[in-house]
């Protein structure tokens, strides 16, 4: 019998591209599977339509989709892991939902997109204006280029690029975007402008997708688990444990990246103290460190690194 599932997703170009990548992978692993996509508008989408709108919670980009999943309107949801709070959301808290798969991670790194295609981070003019919606990115940029003016800019990936290129009241010299999003949207960029992890640690879970199902929907769970990547799951477990221990959410300047190193997990983390973007990037301190551990102890590794950085900040 031919199996059919309904996938829930946001309607942005990136969200749809991510969902298509998941569907393609599912079909390769499950012969005869049919998947239909259902677009669901979330409260967080207002941020992209209205420049002055504010997020209505840490699960703003996932809440409505997860509720549709709980009600059985869809069979699984595809989220950017960065949008999934480390604190349990309503559905996860009641154990009605679970993340059944973390597909293999795309690039976790950030990329500088300059208006002048020949520019590099080090060659941007003095006091150049760089656009980003991320306090994490802004703070790390200022560490290596204190002269830069960080400009808060919102919108989906194509919108941000258009704002810079068209000069829509921004007069930006460059913007910083996630490499994973550029790859998934097939947007060309100069690979030499990928920012090294030594310069900029990414957001927790950057480049990763989370595929959520109803906990007792055994058929969907079985199918979705076929695309779970073990190494990705272990790495994001460490990163999200680090963030949770620090009380972090999508608007908190926390950075972390876990990678495999000779059979062990190496977790690098960064925390910032008393920081803000409005009125210019300011931070009392920036602390960065790393720890290694066995894969089976990924969750504990994240917790230990967070505790270590908190102790260093005192």
Handedness of CA 219, 24, 83, 63 (dihedral sign): negative
Q: Cβ(161)–Cβ(102) under 8 Å?
A: no
Between strands 76-80 and 209-214, the pairing is: antiparallel
Annotated active-site residue 190? The verdict is no
280 CB burial (10 A radius; 0-12, 13-18, 19+)? exposed
Q: Cβ(83)–Cβ(202) under 8 Å?
A: no
Q: Which of 45, 5, 44 is nearest to 26 (CA)?
A: 5
What are the angstrom distances between the C-alpha of 170 and each of 4, 131, 268, 277?
Answer: 46, 8, 34, 16
Q: Which helix or strand (DSSP H or E) is residue 174 part of?
A: strand 174-178
What are the angstrom distances between the C-alpha of 199 and each of 111, 190, 251?
Answer: 11, 17, 20
Q: Cβ(24)–Cβ(78) under 8 Å?
A: no
Point out the catalytic residue in the list 83, 110, 173, 217.
83
Q: Which residues are catalytic?
A: 83
């Amino acid at each position: 019998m031919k199996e059919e599932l309904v996938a829930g997703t946001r309607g942005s170009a990136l969200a749809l591209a991510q969902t298509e990548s998941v569907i393609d992978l599912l079909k390769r692993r499950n012969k005869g599977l049919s998947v239909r996509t259902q677009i669901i508008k979330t409260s967080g989408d207002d941020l992209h339509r209205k420049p002055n709108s504010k997020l209505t919670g840490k699960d703003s980009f996932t809440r409505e989709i997860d509720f549709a999943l709980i009600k059985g309107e869809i069979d699984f949801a595809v989220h950017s892991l960065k949008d999934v709070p480390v604190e349990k959301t309503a559905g996860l808290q009641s154990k009605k939902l679970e993340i059944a798969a973390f597909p293999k991670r795309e690039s976790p790194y950030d990329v500088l997109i300059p208006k002048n295609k020949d520019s590099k981070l080090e060659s941007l003019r003095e006091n150049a204006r760089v656009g980003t919606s991320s306090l994490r990115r802004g703070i790390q940029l200022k560490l290596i280029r204190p002269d830069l003016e960080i400009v808060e800019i919102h919108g989906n990936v194509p919108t941000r690029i258009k704002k810079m290129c068209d000069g829509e009241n921004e007069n930006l010299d460059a913007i910083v975007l996630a490499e994973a999003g550029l790859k998934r949207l097939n947007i060309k960029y100069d690979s030499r402008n990928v920012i090294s992890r030594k310069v900029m640690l990414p957001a927790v879970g950057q480049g990763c997708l989370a595929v959520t199902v109803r906990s007792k929907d055994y058929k969907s769970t079985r199918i979705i688990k076929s695309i779970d990547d073990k190494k990705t799951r272990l790495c994001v477990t460490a990163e999200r444990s680090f963030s949770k221990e620090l009380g972090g959410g999508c608007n908190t300047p926390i950075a972390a990246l876990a990678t495999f190193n000779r059979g062990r997990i190496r977790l690098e983390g960064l925390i910032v103290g008393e920081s803000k973007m409005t009125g210019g990037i300011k931070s009392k301190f920036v602390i960065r460190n790393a720890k290694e551990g066995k894969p089976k102890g990924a969750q504990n590794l994240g917790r230990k690194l967070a505790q270590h950085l908190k102790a260093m900040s005192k």
